[in-house]
Amino acid sequence: MEPVTPSNKGTPYSRGLDSMEACDAANAIHSTFPDLDEVPVRSLNHDWSHWVFAHGDRVFCFPRKAADSRVHEREVRLLPLLAPRLPAPVPFPRWIGKWDGLPFWGYSAIEGHSLREGTLFGPGGGGIARDIGRFLTVLHDFPVDEAARALDAPFLENLPNPGEWLEDIRMRVFPRLSATLRVAVDSGFTRYARDYRAPLPCLVHNDFRFDHMLERYGRLAGVISFGESALYDFASDFAGILADGGWHAVDDIARFYDRPIGEGFQERVEFHYWTAPLKEIVYGVDHGEERHVGLGRSELAQRMREVGILPS
């Protein structure tokens, strides 16, 4: 595997505050890495914290704001540790530079396209289900102490009670929710915490959605977007699968998951599923992004109806 290429070359690129276009990314890439060939740059699917662009057969990720650079730094530390150990390719940071005082990085694109339900549920779907189950097994078995250092996170022997998270949600999110949603969220947390048995923390992807799993010829070709990785409950990765494929997908993949699932698995998956939109609301509140507050609020209500916490 080729080494990372750090660089501070080129003229600093000064971005616009709220947007980044392909031409801007091209300027940043070519001024920082003048030895790279000048090829067309096109926009890819951006996420909350990064703009993402294709530069020929490379992919470059740019933090939206200074606060988002922490996500970048965690990925750059973690991915080189994961790449040689996981059973499917993940991004490997090869080009690391700075633009407008913020870090950005690039990797050789992984060939494939986002996982489709038709592949998982169609003829031969057991092959990719097996690949995904194996991938999650190895990821979740990654040494916790090593992951903690890479993520710059405290080493936890046990995960905190969800009631502690609820206190933070009450303070930061409740002012942006209707009274009905506040009561429902409180009820959902209380019900879950009542029978809560803390699972052992492990390294999780924490945004394990179909658009982050790449397929090719009916098999798992790679996994991308590790910016939300954390030491957490492994059931949170199955919650991403639930969001895109339902319980059918969860069951198909869990058959090939070679770690103990333990008691309360379904309840934990559902909890992580319906609480995920709270994270988008928090992001919107913290960054002054009203769009994320609104989207998270709508998704929260929909998911709580699906799991029976909020009346239909």
Q: Clarify whether residues 96 and 159 are in a common domain.
A: no
Query: In the structure encoding, which two tokens stand for residue 165, read together?
Result: 């998270």
Location of structure tokens 């209707």: 178
CATH number at residue 67: 3.30.200.20
Location of structure tokens 């973690």: 78
- Residue 180 within a domain: yes
Residue type, 35: D
Q: Which of 77, 108, 139 is the last residue of a domain?
A: 108
Please name the residues in contact with 168: beta carbons below 8 A apart, sequence gap of 6 or more.
none
Q: Domain containing 56: what range?
A: 5-108
| 18: number of Cβ within 10 Å | 8
d(CA 126, CA 172): 43
d(CA 243, CA 307): 12
- Residue 266 within a domain: yes
Q: Clarify whether residues 126 and 271 are in a common domain.
A: yes
Q: Clarify whether residues 132 and 102 are in a common domain.
A: no
> Which residues are registered as beta bridge partners of 108?
58
Helices (H), the chain: 22-32, 69-82, 117-121, 125-140, 144-151, 162-172, 179-194, 235-254, 265-287, 290-306
Q: Clarify whether residues 134 and 242 are in a common domain.
A: yes
Q: Clarify whether residues 259 and 295 are in a common domain.
A: yes
- Residue 312 within a domain: no
Q: Clarify whether residues 199 and 69 are in a common domain.
A: no
How many domains is the chain partitioned into structurally?
2
Q: Which of 78, 108, 138 is the last residue of a domain?
A: 108
Q: Clarify whether residues 101 and 126 are in a common domain.
A: no
- Residue 236 within a domain: yes
Q: At what angle do helices 265-287 and 235-254 cross, to 10 degrees?
A: 140
- Residue 130 within a domain: yes
Residue 111 is given by DSSP the state: S
Q: Clarify whether residues 185 and 67 are in a common domain.
A: no
CATH number at residue 243: 3.90.1200.10
Q: Which of 67, 87, 108 is the last residue of a domain?
A: 108
pLDDT for residue 312: 81
User: Measuring CA to CA, how many Å separate 304 from each of 78, 193, 236, 237, 282?
Assistant: 33, 16, 16, 18, 17
Q: Clarify whether residues 223 and 133 are in a common domain.
A: yes
Q: Clarify whether residues 63 and 88 are in a common domain.
A: yes
Q: Clarify whether residues 193 and 77 are in a common domain.
A: no
- Residue 311 within a domain: no
Query: In the structure encoding, which two tokens stand for residue 278, read together?
Result: 């709270």
| 115: number of Cβ within 10 Å | 24
pLDDT for residue 15: 42
pLDDT for residue 65: 85
| 141: number of Cβ within 10 Å | 14
pTM: 0.92
Q: Clarify whether residues 122 and 88 are in a common domain.
A: no
Return per-residue pLDDT of the chain as tens, 312 residues: 454 454 444 433 344 446 789 999 999 999 999 999 989 999 997 787 899 999 999 999 999 888 889 888 999 999 999 999 999 999 999 999 998 888 999 999 999 999 999 999 998 889 999 999 999 999 999 999 999 999 999 887 788 889 889 999 999 999 999 999 999 999 999 999 888 887 889 999 999 999 999 999 999 999 999 999 999 999 999 999 999 999 999 999 999 999 999 889 999 999 999 999 999 999 999 989 899 999 999 999 999 999 999 998
186-190 contacts, C-beta under 8 A, 24 or more apart: 187/309, 188/271, 188/274, 188/275, 188/304, 188/309, 189/162, 189/163, 189/165, 190/166
